[in-house]
Structure 1
Amino acid sequence: MVAGESSGDLLASRLLAGLRPQLPTSRMHGIGGPHMAEYGFTSDWPIEKLSVRGLFEVLAHYREITNIRNSLRAGLVVERPSVFIGVDAPDFNLGLETDLKKAGIPTMHFISPSIWAWRGGRIKKIERAVSHMLVVFPFEEAIYRNAGIPVTYVGHPLAEIIPMQPDVAAARTALSLPVSGPVVAILPGSRMSELKYNTAAFVAAAALLLKREPRMRIIAPMAGEAQARYFTEVIAAAGLSDVPIDLLQGQSHLAMAAADAVLVASGTASLEVALFKKPMVIAYKMLRASWEIMRHMGYQPWVGLPNILAQEFIVPELLQQAATPEAMAQALWQQLDDHAGRATLVARFTAMHHALLRDTAQESANAVLTLIDQSRTPSSSTYRSPP
């Protein structure tokens, strides 16, 4: 298995939760993080090596990433695993899956690339790369069926992990926050490139909110120690070290549960915030050259997953030049002050949660076992454990 970032690590852990009990002695390895490690997964390289976003940002790490992929490919072709599962990270995984599938190794991809949002032509590459696709949004299943690609809708793992009704008081107690009083969480991203471009503006927005409401608590969960150190370096360089922020190691779900509103970088984290039923502002900045290329490639007016699933702007999106500290602070303040809007969002996000809820661990594990079985004995439908 290969997961390319912290959100992929969390999603992959749900698949492993269903798979490990049925394959208790199997070797599971590749690239993953701490959540996958809880199920006996061994990471051959640190997951941070792949946590890069943006066209030009990736170029800076291209040689190292390519060397990792080449080494992994060579080892797997010799090892011939029962199955290879790429978890998101399509730019890394699809090419690897294509080569492994050609070599006769069954390949599965978990979490579809956003072909419904941009670069729809990738479906042809996916067809060459994967033996079976696992999708997490209901509308994706028909896309792959129509393209003749074996597919299973397994629900979204986060819909299982996140409670339907978050316990705000318990989360605040766990984080040593006051039970009453405003709390805002800022999540500038888990990748170093995201922290580079988002951190200063996010913290400056928090500073503006604190001027309006000095009693407000600002919390910022970090994906790991390296991210926390870099976050601190960025705000120091921006002259923002005096902004009072509670920096958390991990604990992003506790932070979301505890918050009254969230400023979040676009990506899986925005869906997590929606499942926690929280008002949010989605914001994102990247290298200008990457932005100029990517902004012309989208099919939809929305970037954030909550808006894409709702097919309308139910929460604000502030991207690139629009993601100024002033605009973000104002949008967040409006979210905090709009009680009727909060109730509407809770209802919309609750319906979204129900639509995404399945027994993802079991359904995805069953699909993996079926693929392994089919690749070994095409005429058999009964799974046999490996020796």
Structure 2
Amino acid sequence: MASSAEAADIADIAVVAGELSGDLLAGRLLSGLRRHLPDARFHGIGGPRMIAQGFESHWPIETMTVRGLFEIIPRYRELKGIQNALRDRLIAEKPAVFIGADYPGFNLGLEAQLKAAGIPTMHYIGPQIWAWRGGRIKKIVKSVSHMLVVFPFEEAIYRAAGVPVTYVGHPLAEVIPMVPDEGAARRELGLPEDANIITLMPGSRMGELKYNTAAFVGAAKLLQARDRSLRFIAPMAGDKQRDYFRQLVREAGLQDVEITLLDGQSHTAICAADAVLVASGTASLEVALFKKPMVIAYRMMRASWEIMRHMGYQPWIGLPNILAREFLVPELLQHHASPEALAEAMWRQLTDAPHRMALAQRFTDMHHSLLRNSAEEGAAAVMQVIQDGRTP
């Protein structure tokens, strides 16, 4: 690895994160790089965790968020314009390295153009080619100088394709304690320590809220009728999401369900819960790392679903189940994610004590398997790519 002294003249590192999950990944990576390159310029597109590391975002991260195959169509020209403008800027400035933080639909295309222009490119994290759209490996080979992956089984996949790769562990495994303090989380949220609490996580994107909210809150209503002692909390990613969630609840006629909405605090909300109803995605891995029973659910535009349901390579979509290679927790998708089905599945997660204990042990084992110093190991890989790019 290049030393800080050797790399002292390297001052320009470009990064793009298009969603808050990528901002989390990149923010931690930048914290590791900052220790090696205290005066480096970090810039591109990013969110609050990246900005906390002195990152300069040329566009707000909120302008990048889009979901689904058909939902992107109305915004294609806008996003393509941003990609082209950033490409031209970076080719003119020639940063020491470009790092795409997840967001593969945008970043892989940008990386291909930058790599062709002689700029080293990295991608963090690897697209889930092991789950669906495996043909993207050809594009990755053309686009990416070095891949950073967060699951140990991914290294062999990229090495076989000839893509340099480093497993850095999953940053969430470092952020989330091995033994979470449920009582402290409840005190922080002002909740009774002996309460029966369900956390609802219908998603942070507006599209996810649109399709998941009514089913999630409908399930809460049925569970509340079954056990009046249950309390429901739901972390909201921002004011827009909070307002839209309330609007959707009113439109579904479910405003009589008492739900405490939180400003962010998703980790505290998970930690405080007895069980979690969660939209598929990174949040399901967070729930597993907090060792909580869960039901994974997801709904989307029907046209998108009809295409995507035929594109998967394995029977699971939830990260905990994919890592376990079995259905550790229920997955209810699209029309199967009815309020009635969600409520029934959640009831078992709440009341089956042996199942809860077995899950906690499996999730603890999973946590250990993902635990590495991702900031330092990721920074080491970036520094090596930079050094290799400077070597004739």
Q: TM-score, normalised by structure 2?
A: 0.95
1:295 to 289, 293, 309: 309
Runs of 4+ in 1 over 6 A off after TM superposition: none
1:5·1:191 contact (CA, 8 Å) conserved in 2?
no
Q: Does 1:233 align with 2:247?
A: yes
Report the RMSD for the aligned CA atoms in angstroms.
0.9
CA–CA distance in 2 between the matches of 1:227 and 1:301? 31
**How far is 1:199 from its partner?**
1.1
Aligned to 1:262: 276
Task: Trace 1:174-323 onto structure 2 (pairs within 5 A).
Answer: 174-323=188-337
Aligned to 1:350: 364
CA–CA distance in 2 between the matches of 1:106 and 1:59? 30
Higher deviation after alignment, 112-121 or 211-220: 211-220
2:60 to 46, 65, 68: 46
CA–CA distance in 2 between the matches of 1:196 and 1:26? 40
Aligned to 1:104: 118
Structure 2 residue runs of 5 or longer lacking an equivalent are: 1-14
1:25 to 27, 32, 39: 39
Amino acid at match of 1:45: W
CA–CA distance in 2 between the matches of 1:40 and 1:284? 35
CA–CA distance in 2 between the matches of 1:247 and 1:47? 23
1:296-336 deviation line (CA, Å, top 9, x unaligned): 00000001000000000000000000000111011001100
**How far is 1:294 from its partner?**
0.4
Aligned to 1:217, what secondary structure does the other structure show?
strand
Aligned to 2:343: 329
Q: Does 1:170 align with 2:184?
A: yes
Amino acid at match of 1:288: R
Higher deviation after alignment, 335-344 or 229-238: 229-238
**How far is 1:60 from its partner?**
2.2
Percent of paired sites with the same residue: 67
Amino acid at match of 2:374: T
CA–CA distance in 2 between the matches of 1:360 and 1:65? 30
CA–CA distance in 2 between the matches of 1:48 and 1:231? 17
Amino acid at match of 2:328: I
1:133·1:152 contact (CA, 8 Å) conserved in 2?
yes
Task: Trace 1:50-129 onto structure 2 (pairs within 5 A).
Answer: 50-129=64-143
1:327-349 deviation line (CA, Å, top 9, x unaligned): 10110011000100000000100
CA–CA distance in 2 between the matches of 1:320 and 1:199? 13
Structure 1 residue runs of 5 or longer lacking an equivalent are: 379-387
CA–CA distance in 2 between the matches of 1:64 and 1:220? 32
CA–CA distance in 2 between the matches of 1:189 and 1:347? 26
CA–CA distance in 2 between the matches of 1:229 and 1:21? 40
CA–CA distance in 1 between the matches of 2:106 and 2:47? 16
**How far is 1:210 from its partner?**
1.2
Aligned to 1:160: 174
**How far is 1:29 from its partner?**
1.4
1:133-185 deviation line (CA, Å, top 9, x unaligned): 00000000000111111000000010011000000000001111111121111
1:196·1:234 contact (CA, 8 Å) conserved in 2?
yes
CA–CA distance in 2 between the matches of 1:37 and 1:222? 21
Q: Does 1:145 align with 2:154?
A: no
1:26-80 deviation line (CA, Å, top 9, x unaligned): 1111111111111111222121222211100111221211111111111111111
1:364 to 375, 378, 384: 378
1:13·1:36 contact (CA, 8 Å) conserved in 2?
yes
1:247-267 deviation line (CA, Å, top 9, x unaligned): 111100000100000000000
Aligned to 1:63, what secondary structure does the other structure show?
helix
CA–CA distance in 2 between the matches of 1:63 and 1:276? 40
Higher deviation after alignment, 354-363 or 232-241: 232-241
Higher deviation after alignment, 62-71 or 122-131: 62-71
Aligned to 1:56, what secondary structure does the other structure show?
coil
Aligned to 1:55, what secondary structure does the other structure show?
coil
1:184·1:263 contact (CA, 8 Å) conserved in 2?
yes
